[in-house]
Amino acid sequence: MAEAVDLAVRELLGTERGREALDIGAGGDRTAMVDRVAEDVVIAHCERLAAEGARFLLRSEELGDREFGAASPLLVVDPVDGSINAKQGLPYHCTSLALLEGATFADTSVGVVRNLAGRGVYTAIRGQGVWRDGEPLRPLSVGLAEGGRVPVLVMEAVLSPPMIVRQARLIERCGRVRLLGAAALSLCQAAAGAASALVAPGGLRSFDCAAGLLVLDEAGALVTDLEGKPVGGMAADFASRLRLVASQDPEVHQTVLSLLD
């Protein structure tokens, strides 16, 4: 399914046609042509699965909920995560797919995040591990740099005015800060150790992060909310906003939490 989305949107990336504004999607964002084409591919695949006997509920950023014969399991999809990047032709966007056996993020059994701008297909199965491009993921080592600095911090969903002072304290203690604009893919960067830590102070939506959270879990990373509490018990619905911190290293994770406290 993710591969078919990749092929379908490739010619629309960074074009006026791809940027064409349509209506407001179920997630609350303005749908562009590149989003619509990607979702049409997802729906076509779901209809094919249903015709073959599969029964499930689709939850997509643009469409909302559509039942294919049953209310569960739940397939949570963001056809194009990082839509602004895709519309502008900036090479950082992805497709995110997650299969949930229940209503919370802890119920995610399978997650796939496919980079739509180059190599990088992350696949995770609950209790079985995580792979990148078909090979077991071997994360880079992560730790604090000299002076207790966080070497590379990736931030997502940073538009949170009450957090400005706290964000500033954190940024001052970082070697480099990156705002990349595709949350699912950035979660995978934290799982791979490419990002020393990821912080999303503004909150991530379920279709942005369900697959990436499983990738992080199966890669052995630490993931909590901004108060250091687990996020797995939160509902994977349209109302959820996960304000989280993730890192492969406990000391880095705790440093980020402390600076945001």
- Contact of 201 with 243, CB cutoff 8 Å: yes
pLDDT of residue 214: 98
pLDDT of residue 19: 87
The residues of the chain that CATH labels 3.40.190.80 are 146-260
Q: What distances in angstroms separate CA 18 from CA 24, 84, 89, 120, 145, one per listed residue?
A: 16, 10, 9, 23, 42
Give the number of other CB atoms < 10 A from CB of residue 206: 26
Which class is domain 2-136?
A: alpha beta
The residues of the chain that CATH labels 3.30.540.10 are 2-136
Indicate the SS3 state at residue 247. Answer: strand
Instruction: Find out whether the peptide bond into 73 is cis, omega within 30 degrees of 0.
Output: yes
pLDDT of residue 66: 95
Residues 6+ apart with CB under 8 A from 241: 202, 203, 204, 205
Average pLDDT of every residue of the chain: 92
The crossing angle, in degrees rounded to 10, of helices 206-218 and 183-192 is 10
Q: Is 146-260 in CATH node 1.10.1040.10?
A: no
Q: Which run of H or of E encompasses 143?
A: none
pLDDT in tens, the chain (261 residues): 899 999 999 999 999 998 888 766 555 566 789 999 999 999 999 999 999 999 999 999 878 899 999 999 999 999 999 999 999 999 999 999 999 999 999 999 999 999 999 999 999 999 999 999 999 999 999 999 999 999 999 998 765 566 677 788 899 999 999 999 999 999 999 999 999 999 998 899 999 999 999 999 999 999 999 999 999 999 999 899 999 999 999 999 999 999 988
| 227, two tokens | 């108060």
Has this prediction a pTM greater than 0.85? yes
